[in-house]
Structure 1
Amino acid sequence: MHLLKLSVSLLVSLAVSCVQAARVPQYQQLPPLREQAAIQDAWTVERVSNVPQLLRKYEVDAWLMSQKEYAEDTVFWSLKSATQFSARRRTVDLFLANTVEDASFSYNWIDNTPEVWSELRSVLEAHNVSSIAVNADTDVAFSSGLHVGEFGKIVQELGPEWEKKLVVEPMVGVEFIGTMVPGRLEWYRRLQETAWAIITEAFSEAVIEPGITTTDDVRWWMRDKIQQLNYTTWFMPDVSILNAEDPFGDHPMTTDREVIQYGDLLHCDFGVTALGLNTDTQHMAYVLYPGESEDDIPEGYIGGLKQVNRLQDIVKSNMKVGTTGNDILKTSLKQMRNEGFDGKIYCHPIGDWGHSAGTLIGMFNLQEGVEVLGDLPLLDNTYYSVELYAEYFVAERNQTMNFYQEEDVYWNDEIKDWDWVWGRQEKFHLVRPPVDRVFRVQGP
Structure 2
Amino acid sequence: MSLVAPDPLRTVPLPLREQAGVRDRWLTERLLDVLPGLMDRTGIDLWIVVGREYNEDPVLATFLPATWLSARRRTILVLHRSDDGVTAAAVSRYPVGQFVPAWTPGASSGSDTQWAEVRRFVEQAAPERIGVDVSEHFGLADGLSHTEHRLLTEALGPWAERLVSAERLAIGWLETRLPEEIAVLHQLNRLVHDVVDQAFSAEIVTVGETTALDVAWWIRQRLHDLGVEPWFQPSVLLQRAGVPLLEEQGALLPAVPFDAVVEPGDLLHCDVGLSCLGLRTDNQRNAYVLRPGETAAPEGLRAAMRAANRLQELTLEALVPGRTGNEVLAAARVAAAAEGIDGEIYSHPIGYHGHGAGPAIGQWDEQSGVPGAGDYPVHPDTAYALELAVRRPVPEWDGQCVRLGLEEGIAVTGDGVEFLGGRQTEFVLIG
| Letter of the 1:404 counterpart | G
Instruction: Look up the match of 1:72.
Output: 56
Deviation at 1:105, TM superposition (A): 1.3
2:285 corresponds, among 278, 283, 302, to 283
Instruction: Look up the match of 2:135.
Output: 137
1:87 aligns with 2:71: yes
CA distance in 1, matches of 2:10, 2:230: 15
| Letter of the 1:109 counterpart | V
- Aligned Cα RMSD in Å? 1.9
CA distance in 1, matches of 2:270, 2:374: 26
Q: Superposition pairs for residues 116-135 of structure 1, below 5 Å?
A: 116-135=114-133
Q: Superposition pairs for residues 351-390 of structure 1, below 5 Å?
A: 351-390=351-390
CA deviation string 1:392-416 (max 9, x = no partner): 2211111232211110101243xx2
Using the size of structure 1 for normalisation, the TM-score is: 0.87
Using the size of structure 2 for normalisation, the TM-score is: 0.89
Q: What SS does structure 1 have at the residue aligned with 2:92? A: strand
TM-aligned CA distance change 1:396 to 1:257, over 3 Å: farther
TM-aligned CA distance change 1:180 to 1:48, over 3 Å: same
Deviation at 1:116, TM superposition (A): 2.3
1:36 corresponds, among 3, 19, 34, to 19
Conservation of the 8 A alpha-carbon contact between 1:52 and 1:96 = no
Q: What SS does structure 1 have at the residue aligned with 2:82? A: coil
Q: What SS does structure 2 have at the residue aligned with 1:195? A: helix
Instruction: Look up the match of 1:322.
Output: 322
Q: Superposition pairs for residues 228-247 of structure 1, below 5 Å?
A: 228-243=225-240, 245-247=244-246
Conservation of the 8 A alpha-carbon contact between 2:408 and 2:423 = yes
More moved, 383-392 vs 115-124: 115-124
Deviation at 1:256, TM superposition (A): 8.1
Conservation of the 8 A alpha-carbon contact between 1:285 and 1:429 = yes
Instruction: Look up the match of 2:412.
Output: 411
Deviation at 1:103, TM superposition (A): 8.9
Instruction: Look up the match of 1:427.
Output: 426
CA distance in 2, matches of 1:155, 1:53: 27
Stretches of structure 1 lacking an aligned partner (at least 5 in a row): 1-23, 433-444
Deviation at 1:29, TM superposition (A): 2.0
CA deviation string 1:175-197 (max 9, x = no partner): 00000011112221121111001
| Letter of the 2:278 counterpart | G
2:162 corresponds, among 154, 159, 165, to 165
Instruction: Look up the match of 1:12.
Output: none
Conservation of the 8 A alpha-carbon contact between 1:60 and 1:132 = yes
Conservation of the 8 A alpha-carbon contact between 2:341 and 2:390 = yes
Instruction: Look up the match of 1:214.
Output: 211
Q: What SS does structure 2 have at the residue aligned with 1:361? A: coil
After superposing on structure 2, the runs of 4+ consecutive aligned residues of structure 1 that deviate more than 4 Å are: 247-253
2:223 corresponds, among 221, 226, 240, to 226
Conservation of the 8 A alpha-carbon contact between 1:132 and 1:167 = yes
Conservation of the 8 A alpha-carbon contact between 2:50 and 2:60 = no
Stretches of structure 2 lacking an aligned partner (at least 5 in a row): 1-6, 94-109
Instruction: Look up the match of 1:438.
Output: none
TM-aligned CA distance change 1:256 to 1:144, over 3 Å: closer
CA distance in 2, matches of 1:310, 1:406: 13
1:266 aligns with 2:284: no
Deviation at 1:123, TM superposition (A): 2.1
Instruction: Look up the match of 2:41.
Output: 57
CA distance in 2, matches of 1:124, 1:370: 37
Instruction: Look up the match of 1:107.
Output: 89
| Letter of the 1:277 counterpart | L
Deviation at 1:150, TM superposition (A): 0.4
